[in-house]
């Protein structure tokens, strides 16, 4: 089995994507959600799970 190594730029790109996803979720914490906010949160969850 051959190990596929990632380049530094690939690792940095993945880390940046994870931080962006986390930031999108953080904006919903600790506040009551309006209908628009609920739609955005549901869309984000669906994207994370691979439905969209």
User: CB of 36 within 8 A of CB of 44?
Assistant: no
pTM tops 0.75: no
- Residue-number span of the structural domain to which 41 is assigned: 8-49
Q: Would you say residue 17 lies in a domain? A: yes
Give the separation between CA 11 and CA 49, rounded to whole angstroms. Answer: 21
Pairwise pLDDT comparison (27 vs 7), residue with the higher score: 7
Instruction: Please count the structural domains in the chain.
Output: 1
Q: Would you say residue 21 lies in a domain? A: yes
Cβ contacts of 6 within 8 Å, gap of 6 or more: 14
pLDDT, tens digit, 9 for 90 and up, residues 22-33: 887 777 777 777
Give the separation between CA 29 and CA 44, rounded to whole angstroms. Answer: 14
CB-neighbour burial class of residue 41 (10 A; exposed 0-12, middle 13-18, buried 19+): middle
Q: Would you say residue 3 lies in a domain? A: no
User: CB of 28 within 8 A of CB of 37?
Assistant: yes
């Amino acid at each position: 089995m051959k190990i596929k190594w990632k380049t530094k730029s690939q690792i940095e790109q993945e880390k940046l994507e994870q931080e962006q996803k986390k930031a999108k979720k953080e904006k919903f914490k600790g506040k009551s959600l309006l209908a628009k906010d609920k739609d955005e949160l549901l869309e984000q969850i669906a994207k994370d799970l691979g439905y969209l």
